[in-house]
Structure 1
Amino acid sequence: MERVTLGSLAARLGLSKFAVSRALSGKSGVSADTRRRVQELAAELGYARQPAPKELRTLGLIFHDTDLINSELHVLIQSGVQAEAQRRGYQVRMRWTHLAEEVEAFVRTCSGAIMVGPHERHTYDRVYALDVPIVRTGWLDPLEQADFVGGSDHEAGSAVARYLVELGHTAIAFVQGTPGYRGRMERYYGVREVLEQLPQVSFRQMTFEKEVRFTEHLRAIEAEGFRPTAFFCAHDGLAVTVISELLRLGYRIPEDISVIGFGDYSAATQISPQLTTVKGHGQQIGAGCVRLLDDRINERMARDIPVRLLIASRIVNRASCGRARRVAT
């Protein structure tokens, strides 16, 4: 006869193992009707509840499998999740998918789950219905009732703006590529928030289309009379391209033009001059997700109060930024 487990009870009832465990242990978080259904089926099938089963100490880590741009960040998040989970006595299982049915099936097997990347709305809706604690690193809708751990993108953008102004730059461009990435837009909003209060500073957003070389974009804005002395690039990969193109055109960095990136990934120290950038703490984001899930699983926090945990970035000074040497005309 097949052994009756939390998983088989959950499958029979269409519930999560998390909900079944709470119903059998008498904990809050399930309705009276759900508790009754679980207890009746458990008695009927002869289920013997085991103390602290190992399968209930499993955290799921789900990466959106088409989000390749942030792959280095995801490796750091994974490292942070695994280290903190081990410290707290959890196993970690991982899955790379964007399919809602696969995400739902995977989360059903976990005590809690971390969702990384731009999953679709209907995927989140299916997962939330399972009543399993979920923490996200992808951006939320305004006041969305969900837990989130991430970086301080808006704040970082404002810090970069102040940093460049303190270096004497009065013509600053924000360069970004593929549109639709919320973090990059938050960095842009942070820069704009500061520079719009400074009438002596000219500011321009440049959208870097991969089909058109950066040189063509630069020539276009220079023809309009805007000659930036500093470029803030939405991510390090884009900053490497900008530096390469500027050097090819004969500009000296940072004597003529300063460039600052975002992320502090491996490419930042593999070019010359090495890249001044904003360091994002991917490992700490991963660890923060585990800490928040652990609090949820152990009911240390009110269920009806979502939490936002931001890990503050910092500017890493290297050789690609310096004081402004010329005034734009």
Structure 2
Amino acid sequence: MASTDSGRPGAGGTPAPARAAGGRTTSRDVARAAGVSQATVSLVLGDKWRGRVSERTAGTVREAARELGYRPNLAARNLRLGRTRTALLVVPALTSEFFARVYTGANGVAAEHGFGVVLYPSPVGTGPALDPFDSARAALDGVIASSMAADTLSGMRGGGLPLVMLDSDPRAGTGTAATVNLDIADGMRQVARHLLALGHRRFAHLAAAVDSWTFRERAGALTRAVAAVPGPALARESAALEVEAGRRAAERVLRVAAERRPTALVCDDDLLAAGACKAARGLGLRVPEDVSVTGFDDLALATAVDPELTTVRLPAEAVGARGMTALLDALDGRVPDTAPLPVLLVPRASTGPPPRP
């Protein structure tokens, strides 16, 4: 078998500590300690040794590197590869628990592959995102954008960087490397089936006042699911994604005669649902005896309110992880996995049968 194992004395033996005069351990120091050539060290530490270096020698090189505290010169390696090993994650806001979890998932996969993730909240939310690296585009290998329209990132796309979209309209993905989505429509269908099975027929949708694919998808899925059953009524009230805005919107739809009042409030996220619960209590209504409330996201808030929220659990970390994996696949010429990630309805105490007439 062809091998680059050095015939120098000490190859395969116990490494002896040795350092460069400047104090920084180099690959030459590792080679000297292991009794092999620098080429062998490069193959082993670059994980390209199989079939070229014996397993025993590879173990000796790794042990020498550990004892000497050797760290590869990533800057030099990346320069050779033409990579910076850095990805930019663009999110609409840093205040959302959902996007924090997306970052956690993306960063976990990135760390496993020696990548770093720079987090950038768009200063205009879901609107056109300014390119924070316009003057330093060479500092990035690719961009991941969560819950934003593809055309809002035209500046970044125009720079030739691979772009992976998360929780975004797949039909608008022309020119992107991949679109990674949750099965949002199925989440809303699960909510509708749950409430219909409990006997609800009068619904109000507290819709997020955000013009983005994910919220349009929720509204459309709910409308279709309710329309598929004879007799139900569906009202819709728009609100900003805040607890107080949710409270005001819920009050508007609940301040009607009992025979016309919705028996179920379907909210686009858990913040709106928390506001809806406050509104019901303020009007002397009980949740769920007088009105049921559902959320979306399954944030920590969902189990902090009383009663705990029935909501749709979104695997935010899995979204970030899948997005980072898709970017790595695109960079390496592989076809990314774009199958929608499943979501799950979590029934809790905020939903029950509708009140009797």
TM range (shorter): 0.7 to 0.9
Q: CA deviation digits over 1:68-94, x for unaligned, max 9?
A: 386211100110011111123322233
Tell me the residue number matched to 1:7. none
Tell me the residue number matched to 2:163. 134
Equivalent runs, 1:65-144 vs 2, <5 Å: 67-68=92-93, 71-98=96-123, 100-105=130-135, 107-118=137-148, 121=151, 124-137=153-166, 139-140=168-169, 142-144=171-173
Deviation, 1:118, is 3.2
Report the Cα distance in structure 2 between the residues aligned to 1:179 and 1:286, rounded to whole angstroms.
21
Matched, 1:181 2:215: no
Q: Residue type of the partner of 1:85?
A: A
Report the Cα distance in structure 2 between the residues aligned to 1:258 and 1:198, rounded to whole angstroms.
19
Deviation, 1:138, is 5.2
Which among 207, 212, 217 is matched to residue 252 of structure 2?
217
The gaps in structure 2 that reach 5 residues or longer are 1-74, 124-128
Distance of aligned partners of 1:219 and 1:130 in 2 relative to their CA distance in 1, 3 Å threshold: closer
Contact 2:251/2:280 (CA < 8 Å) preserved in 1?
A: no
Tell me the residue number matched to 2:347. 317
Deviation, 1:134, is 1.3
Q: Residue type of the partner of 2:96?
A: S
Secondary structure of the residue that 2:265 maps to in structure 1?
Answer: strand
Matched, 1:204 2:235: yes
Contact 1:108/1:130 (CA < 8 Å) preserved in 2?
A: no
Report the Cα distance in structure 1 between the residues aligned to 2:131 and 2:302, rounded to whole angstroms.
38
Which among 44, 60, 64 is matched to residue 87 of structure 2?
60
Q: CA deviation digits over 1:93-150, x for unaligned, max 9?
A: 33334553424445431222212343673x6333223332211125237343122123
Contact 1:148/1:309 (CA < 8 Å) preserved in 2?
A: no
Q: Residue type of the partner of 1:127?
A: M
Secondary structure of the residue that 2:209 maps to in structure 1?
Answer: coil
Moved more, 141-150 or 97-106: 97-106
Report the Cα distance in structure 2 between the residues aligned to 1:287 and 1:106, rounded to whole angstroms.
25
Which among 148, 154, 159 is matched to residue 179 of structure 2?
148
Percent of aligned positions that are identical: 24
**Greater C-alpha radius of gyration:** 2
Secondary structure of the residue that 1:262 maps to in structure 2?
Answer: coil
TM-score normalised according to structure 1 size: 0.73
Aligned length: 271
Report the Cα distance in structure 1 between the residues aligned to 2:179 and 2:192, rounded to whole angstroms.
26
Tell me the residue number matched to 1:246. 280
Which among 244, 256, 259 is matched to residue 293 of structure 2?
259
Which stretches of structure 1, 4 residues or longer, exceed 4 Å deviation after superposition? 49-55
Report the Cα distance in structure 2 between the residues aligned to 1:215 and 1:161, rounded to whole angstroms.
18
Q: Residue type of the partner of 2:355?
A: R
Q: CA deviation digits over 1:171-222, x for unaligned, max 9?
A: 11111242423322211111111111212222221224749934641255x2
Deviation, 1:56, is 1.8
Superposition RMSD on alpha carbons, in Å?
A: 2.9
Tell me the residue number matched to 2:126. none
The gaps in structure 1 that reach 5 residues or longer are 1-48
